[in-house]
Structure 1
Amino acid sequence: METVPGADLCFPQLNSSCRTPTHPHTETMLIYALLSSISLITVALNLLVIISISHFRQLHSPTNLLILSLAVSDLLVGLLLMPVEIIYIEACWFLGDIMCTLYYLVDYIITSASVATMVLISVDRYIAICEPLHYTTKVTKARAQNCVWLCWMWCVIFRIILLHDHLERPGRSNSCFGECVVVINYTAGVVDLVFTFIIPILVIIILYLRVFVAAVSQARAMRSHVAAATTQRSGAVTVKKREMKAARTLGFVIVVFLFCFCPYYYPTLAGEDTSIDASSAAFEIWLAHFNSCLNPVIYAFFYPWFRKSIQHILTLQILKPGSCDANIL
């Protein structure tokens, strides 16, 4: 059987067309099945987190508002970014250069918002553990909401500035038609690395180290006075344990985040330009996005309220009148 000339090109009528990505059929089917499953699980789990925190009034706390922001960014990863990457494993990019640039702009905004939310969560845990007497006055739902909005607005503005060259000249990094590639030069990559990785991670690590030191000193103080503990002190210890458990859980979320995102920033750390291609499911990109699937799994393992709220949602108890006032904690 003869092969039609140009059949393997994205645009056969153009000499500068890219070639259609090709992989063994069995390998492609396995990749599609695996990545589609990850995308569906990411959307489902983060949707459960969003519904839980939004519906049940007991969960309307400043800390959970920050978790809600993180869940929204994770949901957008599974709903918008992962499907596009799955589709273009075995396909050319036919949506044009403008849509290609906008896709990466959205990708970067969501990623930056996740990082910024991690910083806010660390600050919240630091105040809760190290300054517990001032927590209720310093950290309120209104302030948490304002911080989340400012966080997302900053991410939008920062990413537009960082990608202004690509917004002015969409497709400037493409080597042929049918390709969707954004190459971040070394200078922009360093700025991105510093403001969306190094500085946030340093802030997170410093705050959690101080939380750890404070927790150890408080634990020693409580053990030394355990014999004289009153009922009031016992209640305070219970509250402190709950705060520490939340700190450990969110600390684990941040460790997983570091593991997933470090490979993505490796090119910049190595002094190279960062090239991102929507037509290839690069390991670094998918590892970074897989973090969005892992976060709600961590909540399910460590947060009893999340497991209880899932039970209410799946059994449709949230449709009953007054279900928003159910005892979840």
Structure 2
Amino acid sequence: MVMEAVELCVPQLNSSCVKPTRRPADAMLVYVLLSAICIVTVTLNLLVIVSISHFRQLHTPTNLLLLSLAASDLLVGVVLMPVEILYIEACWLLGDAVCTLYYVADYVITSASVANMVLISLDRYVAVCDPLRYPARVTRRAARAGVSLGWLGSLLYRVALLNGHLRNPGASVSCLGECVVVVGRAAAAVDLVVSFVLPVAVIVALYLRVFVVAVSQARAMRSQAAVAAAAQPRQPGAGQAVARWRSEIKAAGALGLVVAVFLLCFCPYYAPTLAGEETEVDASAADFEIWLAHFNSCLNPVIYAFFYPWFRTSIRHIVTLKVLRPGSRDVKIL
């Protein structure tokens, strides 16, 4: 019986990890699939960012929140996915400090995405449940403040959570060539509540309220429309009010789908913590849970393309280079 030779990350060192290997066919399939996801993620989120940033008509509070979400999704495609692809069959040789910083970036981006989801849910809640005061309560200034607080809070919280790893890089590494961070059960339980359970509870509660109010408003509008049609001709402006309400409901539905996809993609990521296990994240392993969570960043702009005509129109202007023409910022997109 011939023993297969084991290849170490650093030959002649007993403390070295075994180099990860896959069958050539499997490795090629994984590389192609994950690289395609990475390219699509970067391309689509860049289109979202350029669209909202360039066209003045899209400078609304809701779109500013979508811009922040697209920025976090873009960082996933630019920073996180390439590293995970690179180390599918390679050892981590960038050092423990860079490994720790990578995980800080990973956690900050993830937390910012969660914060964006909460802000989007709040935005839709006010738009549907309190439409008369929505323009005064949800302004672009308020949206910018919310986005800034979300990113700053994510950074401070993650630095505090990973403080031990920042002070002692490589504390979770068992051998040379590995990049792994292990969060203890207590810290993982706190993180689960703060980063997942509480935000999800808030998001679900807000969208349930939006659904109830939307159904109630739809019934009231149908009843009023029937009475008005029987009693007198249609009043001027009534059609605009109905169209505006339908637009808000459609936006709520699209963003609700974004939130639902987010929950489906991130639930497996938090499954070990829910089971009471330690949370271990390994940059040198293409774990399904990690890639499913990151795949959410690719799906968000796809949802926009299906539900938002303005996004499809913006893409046409960008691809055909019409955005380079003078006055293109003021083109009617909506």
TM range (shorter): over 0.9
The answer for the alignment partner of 2:259 in structure 1 is: 254
Query: What CA distance in whole angstroms lies between the structure 2 residues aligned with 1:230 and 1:95?
Result: 69
Which amino acid in structure 2 is aligned with residue 316 of structure 1? L
Identity of aligned residues (%): 64
The answer for the alignment partner of 1:19 in structure 2 is: 18
Task: Give RMSD over aligned pairs.
Answer: 1.3
Q: 1:320 aligned to 314, 322, 325, which one?
A: 325
The answer for the alignment partner of 1:133 in structure 2 is: 132
The answer for the alignment partner of 1:300 in structure 2 is: 305
SS of 2:133's equivalent? helix
How do 1:253-292 and structure 2 match up within 5 A?
253-292=258-297
The answer for the alignment partner of 1:40 in structure 2 is: 39
The answer for the alignment partner of 2:250 in structure 1 is: 245
Q: 1:232 aligned to 221, 237, 248, which one?
A: 237
Query: What CA distance in whole angstroms lies between the structure 2 residues aligned with 1:100 and 1:230?
Result: 65
Query: What CA distance in whole angstroms lies between the structure 2 residues aligned with 1:189 and 1:66?
Result: 28
Which amino acid in structure 1 is aligned with residue 27 of structure 2? T
TM-score, length-scaled by structure 1: 0.98
Query: What CA distance in whole angstroms lies between the structure 1 residues aligned with 2:93 and 2:34?
Result: 21
SS of 1:279's equivalent? coil
Which amino acid in structure 1 is aligned with residue 76 of structure 2? V
The answer for the alignment partner of 2:88 in structure 1 is: 89
How do 1:161-240 and structure 2 match up within 5 A?
161-227=160-226, 228=228, 229-240=234-245
How do 1:76-115 and structure 2 match up within 5 A?
76-115=75-114
**Structure 2 unpaired stretches of 5+:** 229-233
- State the shift of 1:231 in Å: 2.6
- State the shift of 1:4 in Å: 12
SS of 1:263's equivalent? coil
Query: What CA distance in whole angstroms lies between the structure 2 residues aligned with 1:231 and 1:161?
Result: 57
Query: What CA distance in whole angstroms lies between the structure 1 residues aligned with 2:255 and 2:98?
Result: 35
Which amino acid in structure 2 is aligned with residue 272 of structure 1? E
- State the shift of 1:215 in Å: 0.5
- State the shift of 1:3 in Å: 11
Query: What CA distance in whole angstroms lies between the structure 2 residues aligned with 1:4 and 1:224?
Result: 77
The answer for the alignment partner of 1:146 in structure 2 is: 145
Deviations 1:158-212 (A, max 9, x none): 0000001111111111110000010111111111110110000000011011111
SS of 2:177's equivalent? coil
Query: What CA distance in whole angstroms lies between the structure 1 residues aligned with 2:103 and 2:25?
Result: 29
- State the shift of 1:22 in Å: 0.6
SS of 1:183's equivalent? strand
Which amino acid in structure 2 is aligned with residue 184 of structure 1? V
Q: 1:4 to 1:234 in 2, by over 3 A?
A: closer
Query: What CA distance in whole angstroms lies between the structure 2 residues aligned with 1:74 and 1:56?
Result: 20
Deviations 1:56-76 (A, max 9, x none): 000000000000000000000
TM-score, length-scaled by structure 2: 0.96
Query: What CA distance in whole angstroms lies between the structure 2 residues aligned with 1:276 and 1:206?
Result: 30
Query: What CA distance in whole angstroms lies between the structure 2 residues aligned with 1:123 and 1:192?
Result: 22
SS of 1:225's equivalent? helix
Which amino acid in structure 2 is aligned with residue 36 of structure 1? S
Which amino acid in structure 2 is aligned with residue 270 of structure 1? A
Which 4+ residue blocks in structure 1 deviate beyond 4 angstroms? Answer: 2-5
Query: What CA distance in whole angstroms lies between the structure 2 residues aligned with 1:105 and 1:191?
Result: 17
SS of 1:264's equivalent? coil
Query: What CA distance in whole angstroms lies between the structure 2 residues aligned with 1:177 and 1:46?
Result: 36
Total equivalences in the alignment: 327
- State the shift of 1:225 in Å: 1.1
- State the shift of 1:80 in Å: 0.5
SS of 2:181's equivalent? strand
Which amino acid in structure 2 is aligned with residue 166 of structure 1? H
Query: What CA distance in whole angstroms lies between the structure 2 residues aligned with 1:19 and 1:202?
Result: 42
Which amino acid in structure 2 is aligned with residue 40 of structure 1? I
SS of 1:84's equivalent? helix
Query: What CA distance in whole angstroms lies between the structure 1 residues aligned with 2:142 and 2:223?
Result: 37
- State the shift of 1:13 in Å: 3.0
Query: What CA distance in whole angstroms lies between the structure 1 residues aligned with 2:23 and 2:13?
Result: 26
SS of 1:133's equivalent? coil
The answer for the alignment partner of 1:58 in structure 2 is: 57
**Structure 1 unpaired stretches of 5+:** none
Which amino acid in structure 2 is aligned with residue 27 of structure 1? D
